[in-house]
Amino acid sequence: MDLSAVQARDNVWEMAQRQLDEVALLIGLNESLHGYLRVPKRVLEVSVPVRMDDGGFRMFTGYRVQHNMARGPGKGGIRFHPDVTLDEVKALAMWMTWKCALINIPFGGAKGGVICDPKHMSMQELENLTRRFTSEISIIIGPEKDIPAPDVYTTPKIMAWIMDTFSMQHGYSIPGVVTGKPVAIGGSLGRDKATARGCLYVVDEAMATLGKPVENARVAIQGFGNAGMYAAQLMAERGYRVVAVSDSHGGVANDKGLDVKQLIAHKFETGSVVGFTGGERADNRAILEYDCDVLVPAALEKVITRENAPRVRAQIVAEAANGPTMPEADDILFSRGIMVLPDILANAGGVTVSYFEWVQDLQANFWDEEEINEGLKRKMVRAFRETYEQARRHGVSMRKGAYCVAVSRVAEATKLRGLYP
């Protein structure tokens, strides 16, 4: 295979467009609408000068992409990572469009990122970066325009800085400009565990659909950040047996089950799951091929490929990460009878509770956590059942079933609104 073919295969934006193309054929999407949905509405690239601790300043590059806003304001996270690319941000924005439509909340898709390495920056440098980046993108964000949220290596504290910077520019507090904030300044109860809890709800539905008991079902989780860690905690509490986990440093496994509470304590104490005495050392990539009932990829994109897909042994793959499965791998898993709960379904709990937070901010009326979790469960279960119905109707994978629901909704909204001027 030549280099250009490899690059096309591995480009995450090409991957996102290909997923849309396949479903457009499946549902008979109008050619004009297909072309409209295939490209982002707006792409903003900014240069971000940041004062560093040594007194000098350094230039960073940041992006904010708005893919489609026919159903409402843009919604999507901001990631700080050395490998951020414009194509990645465009793909993530497109996936957010489908995710919001699938869950049926009134948002369009957006995403942002800054090319940086937070692990090698002080807290003051991160604050300076965040505030300057916010100032640069402030022309296109706002509660009625585009609402950012946390993503890879961004936190509630960083969301607080974004909210404060935007508010200072306008002269009054505007908590609805961002979600994932600390509860003390307008954040929502339940937001920290929302992605993991939503993932748990759809895994429960998948297990019931396949006629499999939850008790002692074996779970492997690749990635032990916010989503992976809380998924482990919530699934263990539910009765699943977490047998293997990993983070960027390595993994740990125990066929009898890991003590998740102690594992989380070890992670907080040492910064990694590696070295946990309650299991044996495991290779990070081997976690994807671990003998389990449920595999939860909760790290970065493109980790399940056509090379390792034949060796995946789980019966359910729940994508807590964005874009972890390559298209060729998707086909292999489907042909092997493995149910893949796609990212736009499995990790939609975060944006769902972000929507609840936004509504609470606009109303200045805050809900209790039980009410939030109940609302999340209703939306996740409904989205799973609509996805499953479309997948069965067309004889396709759950990913294509989810896209049938989501793309149809966005296309309908776009068509109803028409073109101006």
| 241-247 and 218-222 strand pairing | parallel
Angle CA 67–72–77, to nearest 5? 55
Q: Between the CA of residue 68 and those of 31, 108, 411, what are the distances in Å?
A: 17, 5, 10
Taking the C-alpha atoms of residue 377 and residue 201, their distance in angstroms, rounded to an integer, is 6
Beta-ladder partners of 242: 219
Give the C-alpha separation, 46 to 62, whole Å: 5
Asked if 278 and 201 touch (Cβ cutoff 8 Å), the reply is no
Exposure letters 291-330 (e unless 16+ CB within 10 A, then b):
ebbbbbbbbbbbbbbeebbeebebbbbbbbbbbbbbbebb
* Rounded-to-5 percentages of helix, strand, coil across the chain: 50, 20, 30
Q: What is the DSSP string of 163-177?
A: HHHHHHHHTS--GGG
User: Residue 212 catalytic?
Assistant: no
Annotated active-site residue in 111, 181, 379, 400: 111
Residues marked as catalytic: 111
